[in-house]
Amino acid sequence: MNSASTPSGSATPAALPAKIIGLREKSGYAAGDMASVFYFKGFSSFLMFFYTDIIGIGAAVISTMLWVTRIFDAVNDPMMGVLCDRTKSPHGKFRPWLRWMVIPYALSGIAIFLVPSGSATMQIVYSYATYTLAMVFYTAINIPYGALMGVMTPHSHERTMLASFRFYGAFGANLIVQATILSWVVQLGGSEDGKTATQSGYIWTMVIYAICAAFLFLFTFHSTKERVQVPKDQEINFKKDLAQLVKNKPWLAIIMIGVTTIIRIALRDAAILYYFRYYVVRAVEEGARFAKLATWFNVVGTVVP
């Protein structure tokens, strides 16, 4: 980036003060990752268990669905990046998407758990449609959010600080989800025995997370600013940029580390509930005990990895 703009006019990075980002803006940026993790952690750790053990869809069907949607994400994510780069708004390139997508993002997360009763085929079709749609809106709000950090300040040390605050936000939301979701599912589910999880418990729990995520993203939108602008004469060539990335060995190494790390986390998180449900606590009537044990395991594992 060769130039930056402020509300008072244009200036080069060298002319800007060394410190631009205040505590409120750092906290606002961290709130965005909290909002993302409310969905990401809820889906990665608990969604497959919901489909198989609450709705009754086969594990092979759901595994295939998750795999297919990830392939779609491989195309959807770069397309969203290109779309953001071409966005023109008084609020910038990336911030407007946080406001535009916040309601679809929140509602699509709830819709996933509203699987209707009926034939298995109808439930599978509904699950495919709603999960794919939720991933589209997740991408549409998360890609701009991630890119926002690069245009908030031209100073690398401030971007490093923003990344740290983002981590704190993600860790906080991760801990909240792990500590609350199973107990809320049981308490809000309205089951006859008051111990076992029901579909309504997941729905109402997701409603709470969706409301929190929506307010957090709106806080990010209102508390952050885009200051860095791409020079008007800078060439934007997608094919050329992609060719350079493919030749960038450190970037490729980081990508491989990130992918393998996410795979490991997803496999571990998805297996935890099944392990406690079918090996640690087997009796159906002990559903509340299963929730408590799994919750403590998740919380301790989050604090002390």
CA 8 to chain centre: 34
pLDDT tens per residue across span 291-302: 788 888 888 888
Q: Note the pLDDT of residue 282.
A: 61
Domain 21-228 maps to which CATH number in 2.40.10.340, 3.40.50.300, 1.20.1250.20, 3.40.1180.10?
A: 1.20.1250.20
Condensed to tens digits (0 to 9), the pLDDT of residues 7-50 reads 434 445 556 677 889 999 999 999 999 999 999 999 988 999 99
Q: Is the pLDDT of residue 283 over 60?
A: no
pLDDT, one tens digit per residue, over 84-120 is 988 989 999 999 999 999 999 999 999 999 999 989 9
Tokens of 257: 């580390």
- Mean pLDDT estimate for the chain: 86
Three-state DSSP class for residue 192: coil
Which segment of 152-161, 183-192, 209-218, 286-295 scores lowest on mean pLDDT?
286-295
Which residue type, as a one-letter code, is found at position 68? V
**What pLDDT is recorded for position 195?**
56
What phi, psi does 304 have (nearest 5°)?
-125, 85
Ranking 19-28, 104-113, 128-137, 180-189 by mean pLDDT, the lowest is 180-189
Domain ranges of the chain: 21-228
What's phi and psi for 196, nearest 5 deg?
-95, 155
Least confident span in 19-28, 227-236, 259-268: 227-236
Residue 129: what residue type? A
- In angstroms, the CA 274 to CA 46 distance is 10
pLDDT bracket for residue 279 (50, 70, 90):
confident
| pLDDT given at position 57 | 94
**How far is the CA of 141 from the CAs of 51, 69, 102, 274, in angstroms?**
25, 17, 7, 31
pLDDT at 193 over 80: no
Read off the DSSP letter of residue 284: G
